[in-house]
A and B are shown apart, each in its own frame.
Chain A
Amino acid sequence: MRQNKTLKIIGVILLLGLFIYYAQNNLDSYKIRILNLCAINIILTLSLNLTNGFCGMFSLGTAGFMAIGAYTSAILTMPPEVKQMNFFMSPMNQHLMNLNAPFIVALIMAGLLAALVGFLIGAPVLKLKGDYLAIATLGFGEIIGVVFTNTQTITNGALGLKGIPQYTNLYWGFSLAVLTILSLMTLLNSSYGRAFKAIREDETAAQAMGINLFYHKSLAFAISAFLAGVGGALMANLLSTIDPTMFKFTYTYQILLMVVLGGMGSITGSIMSATIMTIMMEALRAVESTIDLGFVTIPGIPGMRMVIFSIILIAVVLFLKNGIMGENELTFETLEKAIQRFQSKKGRENHEPTRG
């Protein structure tokens, strides 16, 4: 049975690989960019879901960790000449100037640095619960923005960095997304995952059962920060331009919407909602441009997209409490059962007229 499942997973990954190969070679750059954003948002949504959904810690620091990852990767991958051009206001720190590393090293460093900061922040803050934790982490995200605006010699301040090499492609994005999904699935099925869920349900009871609260909470927080850092790094090397205002709390809210929509505590739910929302975010650009229906022209309203998003967020919380998946996962078994049910229903419908 287990072997069977592994085979199926490998099959799905192979199919995805074929699709990616096709997409990278045949689709136009706009569509490739959207797919890349899908992969990045899957990573970010899973990162936020790990703390908020699986571990019950309501954190809003994603944008801050993304910023750390994005700047780390940008500084490591930019060649010295480009850095020279960026830092025309005041020269860059000499040690950072000559720093250069391949993309894979930059990605790992981005994740590790974000995780380190996550651990340092998490250690004092994780004693807090619920809304206090939310405000403290949100505040932390804002502080990162303030710090990056002020560290002129490292981050070029408010001017941001331009000309970051565009290393991110579909292979990088989706292989990292798949790696994230697989490792999170393994983690959550292990004793660690059960400990996380126990903490989510009842901290006191979990502690009474001998679960080390501090260790598990900081671990979850650091892993989440690591993933957000990697997501930020992929983002920086996709967009090639970053500045501190990009990583504001509004981005965290978007990711939060994806987590809530997919279901807090469901990996497959997060994957689905991240994909759907990313594609929708682009599709909704239609709302912002003028629509010509032939007999009447509807003027486009810039900014309308985000209004629709915030309405979706409120509506999901009010009417669809558990999101798409709740805490359930879409597994091969549930899929097979659904198909069987569908087929038997279809079969019955076909038979019914003859019976009468």
Chain B
Amino acid sequence: MTFELFVQHLVNGISLGSLYALIAIGYTMVYGIIRLINFAHGDIITLAAYFVFFGVGLFAMPWWLAAILSIILTAITGIIIEKAAYKPLRSKNAPRISLLISAIGVSFFIENVSTVVFGGRPKSFYSPEIFKGVIKAGGISIPNLSVIIPIVTAVLLIALVYLVNKTVTGMSMRACSNDMDTAKLMGIDVDRVISLTFCIGSALAAIGGIMWGLKYPQIHPLIGVMPGLKCFIAAVVGGIGNIPGAVVGGMLLGLGEILLVAFLPGLSGYRDAFAFIILILILLFRPTGILGEKIAEKV
């Protein structure tokens, strides 16, 4: 393998990894606060991509407007999911398994509704000119998108870390994550914090979903399932409940996947299995993840 080719794979890996990281943050935030795998997170990705598709295709919106509307709509969807499917169970003090089944039900529901409403046939995702170019440097050619995705992730990550660590809202989020009952006693509106968490997580997933659509411009109703599962794994690998951990996990998974295919092309069919093998290994040898809970603050 030449050096140029290696760099190219590396850039691809980083771009995929930052996409995973963005989606994994949503998982990790929700898990940090209500200790629930939000199975519907992956389907939020699907919805975001379809909202943009219909905004541009059906309502002839400019691309950026469709993207912003899609992010707002998915954030609202996230809040509705929480209010409709998780909150009633939480207030009844139902066992965690019930919450998990409810989450699976919501995910199943969104998948089926998307199939009915959007149609099962794959659709091609509109991609504006700015994302189409290719940067050439030496023998290396990198698509613009592979540079844009990590930058977007980095900006959002910095904003999020600031929000969590420096603002009052962030403080109440951290308090809820530590001990919800005590937070309630201290006068924190726990329901508002949870809604906000779902809102932020879903918005990040929406941004991830739109970029996923730009990167792989074929969308279908189950497009979010695999990224959803893999990003959950990324969150666990990094240490669930931990935002920097989600980024580390996402990067590891993205780079690992791309480099596995690059170095062992014979195994490229097993690309989707890679993440699950990593998951089982991590859970066996370091169940708290790479950046375990004690090192960094969890949200």
Contact = CB atoms under 8 A, between A and B. Distances in A.
Nearest to A303: B116
Contacts of B229: 135, 138-139, 142
A303 B36 CA distance: 29
Given A146-B270, A146-B272, A147-B273, A317 B98 contact: yes
Contacts of A253: 104, 108
Interface in B213-235: 225, 229, 232-233
B296 to A, nearest CB: 20
Nearest to A301: B116
Given A140-B276, A146-B270, A302-B116, A130 B109 contact: no
A156 to B, nearest CB: 14
Nearest to A311: B109
B178 interface: no
B65 interface: no
B284 interface: yes
Contacts, number: 114
B220 to A, nearest CB: 13
Interface stretch (A120-128, A289-297, A337-345): A120-128
B47 interface: no
A119 to B, nearest CB: 15
Nearest to A308: B112
A139 B283 contact: no
B109 A321 contact: no
Main secondary structure of the interface of B (DSSP, over half): helix
A150 to B, nearest CB: 4
B85 interface: yes
B98 A125 contact: no
A52 B101 CA distance: 11
Given A136-B280, A142-B272, A307-B113, A318 B88 contact: yes
B57 interface: no
A314 B272 contact: no
B112 A310 contact: yes
A329 interface: no
Given A307-B113, A313-B101, A313-B105, A132 B269 contact: no
Interface stretch (B3-11, B89-97, B166-174): B89-97
Nearest to A259: B101
Contacts of A303: 112, 115-116, 120
Contact of A306 (B88, B112, B269, B272): B112
Given A130-B96, A307-B113, A314-B109, A135 B88 contact: no
A322 to B, nearest CB: 10
A314 B283 contact: no
A65 to B, nearest CB: 16
Which of A131, A142, A147 has the largest count of B CB atoms less than 10 A from its CB? Answer: A131
A203 to B, nearest CB: 14
Contacts of B272: 142-143, 146
A307 B96 contact: no
A100 interface: no
B127 interface: no
A317 B116 contact: no
Contacts of A204: none
A43 interface: no
Given A146-B269, A310-B105, A317-B101, A139 B279 contact: yes
Interface string A105-129: 0000000000000000000110110
A321 B98 contact: yes
Given A135-B279, A147-B273, A307-B109, A130 B97 contact: yes
Interface of B: 36-37, 85, 88-89, 92, 94, 96-98, 100-102, 104-106, 108-109, 111-113, 115-116, 120, 225, 229, 232-233, 236, 269-270, 272-273, 275-277, 279-280, 283-284, 287
30 contacts: A52-B97, A58-B100, A124-B280, A128-B283, A128-B287, A131-B36, A134-B37, A134-B100, A135-B229, A135-B236, A135-B279, A142-B229, A142-B272, A143-B273, A143-B277, A147-B273, A149-B269, A150-B269, A303-B112, A303-B115, A304-B116, A307-B116, A310-B108, A310-B111, A311-B109, A313-B104, A313-B108, A313-B109, A317-B98, A317-B101
Closest CB pairs A-B (n = 8): A139-B276, A310-B109, A314-B105, A313-B105, A150-B269, A306-B112, A310-B108, A303-B116
